[in-house]
Structure 1
Amino acid sequence: MNKAVESSVDMICSVSELATLFRQGQDIRGFLSQVVQIVSRHMQADICSIFLYKEQRDILVLEATAGLYSDMVGKLALKPGEGLTGLALRELRPIREGHGNNNPYYKAIPGSGEERYESFLAVPIIRGVKRVGVLVLQDETSSRFSKSDVQALKAIASQLAATLENAQLFMTLPEHSEPSAMDMGIRHLIRGTQVVEGVALGLAYQMEGPGNNDNLISAVDDNYKETMEDFHSAIDNTENQLEELQNRLEKELADVASLIFSAHLLMLRDEGFFGAMEKRIHEGSTPKDAVVHIANNYITLFAESHNPRMREKVQDIKDLGHRILENLLKDEGLHGDYSGQIILSNELLPSELLKLATQNVEGLVLFGGGITAHVSVLARSLGVPLILTEDDNIFQIPSNTSLALDAHQGLLIVNPDDAARKRIEQLIEGSDQVEKLETAARPESFTADGVRIYLRATVNLLSDLKLAKRLKAEGIGLYRSEFPFLIRSDFPSEEEQYLIYKQVVDGLDNPLVTLRTLDVGGDKILSYIPDSEEANPFLGLRAIRFLLENKKVFVGQLKAMIRAGGKRQIRILFPLISSLDDFLNARRIVLKSLSFLKRDGLGQFPMPKLGAMIELPSAVEMAPELAREADFLSLGTNDLVQYMLGVDRTNEKVADLFDVRHPAVLRAVKRVNDAAREADCPLSICGLMSKNPQTIYYMIGLGINEFSMEPGKLPGI
């Protein structure tokens, strides 16, 4: 890497780190000031300036500069097309001039002090199709900027775009001290960390939290007197709604549906629940009071249970009670679901997330450690904006308080004003970019110098396949098979798994399909396994260790995968391999599974290609041996970074230490790649490093050309 390229990479990294600081609380002006200083220093330019586009006024305003007179900040304004800077924005292209003042578009700005600077370079800052601003360099030396400078500045502008677009929303917000329960009526911000990007507007819904009243309360007008007939009608309507929700879930998310609403339906038909309500009504209570009383009895009973699975059902009872009450109201304005609501909660189970998503929840805000990796992955596939915060003031927000959630920036705006709401609405309108992404997607990908790159889809749910196909994914680089296991209350049968895997294998036109075997343990706990709690689950019986310990489960899954492949040679990937023995033992069980299929008369199938997932430091050390034995390797960068740096990426207190660009991580990637190339063993990359432009450049430079990522990220890479 030559010095110019090295300098550009350093600069991109520096700006990326500043963007992180801004998200953690630095004000926008301070952030911009540091950016222009860094860019000016790295590019060795006399002047660096940032202009932001004010859409309502249709003007560009100077917001930060290193080199011009500082009193021009906030005052210097240009129309699109005015001067070389305005021209860059209007035409959305870089403007490079060796003698800027000779260009007919040049406009002298009195009092700016820029008259003596001849060289000029301006790059528009754009986010999708939205204009954000312009990044400008100037220098006294004529013809100072080269084509490589243009590329470097475009990379910086791209790095800044997302942060600056969303930051403009908060530039006018006043600073507030930490909110308390008494001042929740005023607008303020709650900061957190992005888990799933997106934006949402809605009303607060307190699912649970410190001091939160778990019991139902009566919201029905006391003047309205329901009858037993009304009660029976409400029960019938509730049952019909739940069955409709379950049918919709099975249609849209067949692989994880698993009777999600079965607990609701069973409770509704239970004599101790429905019958007890009916009995109280016969004894003189109103239907409303009967529902509230019996539901609260069950909530208390379940909440105080020593059985964790019983405690998990508290929210089911609350949901069911609220739905019955709303059907008693006979109010057509009520949805009976979570439309228009942003959930505030301590923690969330995968099944709860599915219920919320099926019932049209707008967004999620979780407190502290209330997020697990598989919940965040599931939320991404379901498209639910989600942030994690350490600010327990979220539990002081009264239900039905107006909220604006900007998960891009990890921010929750409480009681947003009209300007903030309008800005979020604009972001919502611009967020559905599938058609634009589809237009940008290409069937094959190459670097500028013609190197072939394979971009494959990481599939979490069957619903991801449609998007992967639309965005022209070149096969499935990783199918995470654990979600059907996590959602159910028991192991899915071999036949159930076969039907799911068959849809995955047939989901894309490209024949390359990589099915990863069950990766549970750590934060992916199967609630139906007795004694599954461990002192340190991330270092316990997880992934391949669990399967080698539970061979019946392993064989059942392998048989289902092999059957789903038919006559095709699918790829099967083993997670969390720590030694050569792990891989060889797993391969032996694949051979046994093939013999069982032949013995049982189910056919003779080709041997799948078998891969080892490199996620542990020990696997990095064993990469040469693994590369010689495996048909392919896959570098799971999320767990690799976590285990190498000793950082839980879902823990907000140390999340800033989770760095995919850490030298130890980059060296590990190189070592694994060297081992794979030496053994002529294909290597693919999945996880955060596969969708980070900075690390992708590094890995392509190493010769790695296969990457797997969520379908929505494909066109951007």
Structure 2
Amino acid sequence: MMKDNVELICNIGELSDLFREKSDVRGFLMKVVKTVSGHMKADVCSIYLYDEAQDRLILEATEGLNPDLIGKLKMSTEEGLVGVALKELRPILEINGRDNPHFKEVPGSGEDKYQAFMAVPILQGLTRIGVLVLQHHMAGYFNKNDMMALRAITSQLAATLENAKLLMGVTQTAKPEPSVELSLIKGQAVVEGIGIGQAYVMESGSRDGFRSGLPQSCRDAGKEDFSRALIQTEEQLTDLQTEMEEKLSDVGSLIFSTHLLMLRDSGFIGKMEEDIQEGVLPCDAIISRVEHFLKIFGESGNPRLQEKVQDIRDLGHRLLRNLAGEKLESGDYSDQILVARELLPSELVKITAQHVEGLVLYSQGASAHITILAKSLGVPLIYTDDRKLLTIKPGSRLILDGQQGNLLVNPGDETVAQFLALKKDHSLLDDHAEQVREETFSLDGERIYLRATINLISDIKTAVKMKAEGIGLYRSEFPFLIRNSFPSEEDQYLVYKKIFDGMESPVITLRTLDIGGDKILSYMPDSEEENPFLGLRAIRFLLQNKKIFVGQLKAMLRAGQGRKFRIMFPLVSSLDDFKQARRMVEKSIEFLKRDGFECATIPELGVMIELPSAVVMIDDLAREADFISVGSNDLVQYLLGVDRTNEKVSGLYEARHPAVLRTVARIAEASQKHNCPLSICGNMAFNRGLSYFLVGAGVRNLSMPPGQIPQMQTFLENVDVKKAENDCRHLLQLDSLESINEFLDEAVAAVKS
């Protein structure tokens, strides 16, 4: 089918004249997209208008995408190819839009089947009006002639569309939106997955909506119903505790102990029973006592008591739902999406155990350990700094998109149906495990090792399923983070023993405790610091707390007897740090032998390179250590001086920065020079572009979340290492992020996978 570019320009001129006589603005915009898509034989034509006050683009008309998103889909000029087109004031023509790293798909839009992409900014002089976008299912469908035609069209439409903007009011200062009108809240995707359910809004302090929305069955309940609810609640919590002990023994130990103790407490349940005997309705007795304890705990100066607020709240909701006769077979949070300002690691584990659909956290309450823990628990999670999140009403219908970082509030039935289909597709990802091969070789036969990064014992099952070639990194801090006190040597031994029992590979790397930064132990006195990322964290903490260090080392040594394994020290800044840590291992072996334990197996000892000072000392460290591992997330942070948890500067956190690439290449060179095995952990290891660079730099060991192994194996099996090595040499000569992005994107696009 031929495209009628010339006739299209004429028809657009006629539409512009027509608009002057009509007052239906959206009707006009719809005629524009229908006309353009028809003449260009495009599958999709969309118009986004620019809101200067909010610095965002709003989808105002579309032919081919989900019409439910009209007026609701909003994105900043920092997002997607549409944002790039307006921000940089240039047209974008892509053979396949998804190949461009700036492409951002909107699940539920229906655009997943389209490949060719063209976007042209709409300008009236220097004033930004919006963006006109075309898409087609056939890759490379649009050409430069089409782009020239579209530029002519947008020029002709600009004045008319500026009038349309004025009439629609998008240039006015945005007014606060009432929660019922919320449609889309954009955030950062942290854990992939789709969650669909009702909003459960976790209040701060002692506030909670216990009295709102109580079913009549709860009001009608009597003494016998209360007794039944108590028994039912205890049985459910006991079953949940048993389930957690089996699935997550490292972090699930006794996590419902507070709930169960409160059920037997005379000051809690006993007072409810007294009130009921005096004629108070059971539901009022429960609410009154729960609110009393919430107030006491919430206003307490004791951090331990403050942490129990959510336990009391959970228990209150569970008692009320059981009193009302609601079925809670799958947990108290089933079919619910939790919305909260902040969340403790122990709260996350408990909520996940109760089958929550997903989590949305206000960014200021976000932390790295919550991110890592949520990934291992497999619960979809997004962070957002949009304060509208805090206005969502409990019970609102929500769709959490953990792939694109979107939260849809009160979506229509059509949108829900589309996301249900997406959720079903997402659940089929496990099928990829059957396609993973035991070993990974590049296109030209170079051996590459894909190892697993393990956060929880439950990750090992996935690692084995995905045929991970060992554990490149076990983060040992989580059994510490979710408890109220330091785990004993025996507690740690049982955790580490399960790791060795679950993974037969000869490469098992245990990292010693890495707390500090944003991973704070609530039970540690004086743990708050003005600049925690530069404070007492990781190996610094352990060397100042030798009793804790030795306890952990002894547990690791005992668990690893008879197996080949490795111990790695985080945040090493100098050769002195490594030598001190090594001496602590030697002392721990002496203590074990003194206590009658065999220590025939001596682990390899390595360092995690995260600090610039360690990079300067890399030759010395490579000579002394048995192996080296680059902690890429922290290395980028410290090298560029960017706090990756600070949203004001997070845009400067660029792993492709020329300084980062040259630093990694320097580490790889030292590793090869001193014959010291090197591996890469963190996000760089499972990013296609950066893994291409790493392989070219000589890295052959990559550690990643087990679920990333299938796609990374597929990609790396299509990489020609010789070409990657040549490209790496060229990349190291480039001195700007822009030139690196352009070159690396082209190199990755040429890899057929």
1:319 is aligned to: 314
CA distance in 2, matches of 1:50, 1:327: 44
Q: Equivalent residues in 2 for 1:492-571 (5 A)? A: 492-571=487-566
Identify if the C-alpha distance between structure 1 residues 616 and 234 changes in structure 2 by more than 3 Å, giving closer, same or farther: same
- Residue type at the aligned position of 1:30: V
1:64 is aligned to: 118
CA distance in 2, matches of 1:42, 1:275: 66
More deviation in 337-346 or 666-675? Answer: 666-675
Q: Equivalent residues in 2 for 1:115-194 (5 A)? A: 134-136=139-141, 183-186=178-181, 188-194=183-189
Q: TM-score, structure 2 length as denominator?
A: 0.74
Root mean square deviation, CA, Å: 3.4
How far apart are residue 312 of structure 1 and its match? 1.5
Q: TM-score, structure 1 length as denominator?
A: 0.78
CA distance in 2, matches of 1:51, 1:261: 40
Identify if the C-alpha distance between structure 1 residues 450 and 672 changes in structure 2 by more than 3 Å, giving closer, same or farther: same
Q: Is 1:484 aligned to 2:479, yes or no?
A: yes
Native 8 Å contact 1:583 1:612 kept in 2: yes
Native 8 Å contact 2:496 2:555 kept in 1: yes
More deviation in 238-247 or 326-335? Answer: 326-335
CA distance in 2, matches of 1:652, 1:178: 24
Q: Is 1:214 aligned to 2:208, yes or no?
A: yes
- Residue type at the aligned position of 2:622: A
How far apart are residue 434 of structure 1 and its match? 3.9
CA distance in 2, matches of 1:607, 1:62: 57
CA distance in 1, matches of 2:144, 2:434: 39
2:296 is aligned to: 301
Q: Is 1:693 aligned to 2:680, yes or no?
A: no
Native 8 Å contact 2:75 2:83 kept in 1: no
Q: Equivalent residues in 2 for 1:289-368 (5 A)? A: 289-332=284-327, 337-368=332-363
Native 8 Å contact 1:349 1:375 kept in 2: yes
Q: Is 1:414 aligned to 2:403, yes or no?
A: no
Number of aligned residue pairs: 601
Q: Is 1:608 aligned to 2:662, yes or no?
A: no
Native 8 Å contact 2:330 2:355 kept in 1: no
Native 8 Å contact 1:543 1:575 kept in 2: yes
- Residue type at the aligned position of 2:440: S
Identify if the C-alpha distance between structure 1 residues 554 and 54 changes in structure 2 by more than 3 Å, giving closer, same or farther: closer
1:381 is aligned to: 376
Identify if the C-alpha distance between structure 1 residues 61 and 547 changes in structure 2 by more than 3 Å, giving closer, same or farther: closer
Native 8 Å contact 1:61 1:74 kept in 2: no
Q: Equivalent residues in 2 for 1:444-483 (5 A)? A: 444-483=439-478
CA distance in 2, matches of 1:624, 1:379: 37
CA distance in 1, matches of 2:472, 2:402: 27
CA distance in 2, matches of 1:387, 1:574: 31
The percent identity for this pair of structures is 51
CA distance in 2, matches of 1:50, 1:235: 49
Native 8 Å contact 2:192 2:380 kept in 1: yes
Q: Equivalent residues in 2 for 1:187-336 (5 A)? A: 188-208=183-203, 213-214=207-208, 216-217=210-211, 219-221=214-216, 224-332=219-327
Identify if the C-alpha distance between structure 1 residues 497 and 410 changes in structure 2 by more than 3 Å, giving closer, same or farther: same
Identify if the C-alpha distance between structure 1 residues 175 and 203 changes in structure 2 by more than 3 Å, giving closer, same or farther: farther
Q: SS of the residue aligned with 2:181?
A: coil
CA distance in 2, matches of 1:680, 1:633: 11
Q: SS of the residue aligned with 1:202?
A: strand
CA distance in 2, matches of 1:295, 1:437: 47
- Residue type at the aligned position of 2:339: L
- Residue type at the aligned position of 2:470: G
Unmatched tracts of structure 2, length 5 or more: 1-73, 98-102, 121-131, 146-168, 713-753
2:397 is aligned to: 402
Native 8 Å contact 1:501 1:561 kept in 2: yes
| CA displacement, residues 61-93 of structure 1 (integer Å, 9 cap, x when unaligned) | 975278xxxxxx989977xxxxxx4xxxxxxxx
CA distance in 1, matches of 2:353, 2:483: 16
| CA displacement, residues 422-472 of structure 1 (integer Å, 9 cap, x when unaligned) | 221121011023443113311111221221111000011111111111111
Identify if the C-alpha distance between structure 1 residues 628 and 333 changes in structure 2 by more than 3 Å, giving closer, same or farther: closer
CA distance in 1, matches of 2:135, 2:693: 39
- Residue type at the aligned position of 2:522: S
How far apart are residue 183 of structure 1 and its match? 3.5
1:8 is aligned to: none
1:641 is aligned to: 636
| CA displacement, residues 148-195 of structure 1 (integer Å, 9 cap, x when unaligned) | xxxxxxxxxxxxxxxxxxxxxxxxxx9899997763333521111111
CA distance in 2, matches of 1:222, 1:564: 53
- Residue type at the aligned position of 1:563: R
Identify if the C-alpha distance between structure 1 residues 28 and 707 changes in structure 2 by more than 3 Å, giving closer, same or farther: closer
| CA displacement, residues 265-314 of structure 1 (integer Å, 9 cap, x when unaligned) | 11111111111111212222111111111110111111111112211111
Unmatched tracts of structure 1, length 5 or more: 1-21, 44-48, 67-72, 79-84, 86-133, 141-173
| CA displacement, residues 194-247 of structure 1 (integer Å, 9 cap, x when unaligned) | 11122211111110259x933632614289443333222211111111111111
More deviation in 485-494 or 650-659? Answer: 650-659
| CA displacement, residues 526-565 of structure 1 (integer Å, 9 cap, x when unaligned) | 1222222222221111111111111111111111111111
Identify if the C-alpha distance between structure 1 residues 220 and 503 changes in structure 2 by more than 3 Å, giving closer, same or farther: same
How far apart are residue 673 of structure 1 and its match? 1.4
How far apart are residue 604 of structure 1 and its match? 2.8
| CA displacement, residues 504-541 of structure 1 (integer Å, 9 cap, x when unaligned) | 12322321100001111111111222222222221111
Q: SS of the residue aligned with 2:366?
A: coil
How far apart are residue 421 of structure 1 and its match? 1.3
CA distance in 2, matches of 1:53, 1:374: 27
CA distance in 2, matches of 1:257, 1:688: 27
How far apart are residue 491 of structure 1 and its match? 1.5
- Residue type at the aligned position of 1:367: Y
Identify if the C-alpha distance between structure 1 residues 176 and 707 changes in structure 2 by more than 3 Å, giving closer, same or farther: farther
Native 8 Å contact 2:108 2:418 kept in 1: no
Native 8 Å contact 2:575 2:621 kept in 1: yes
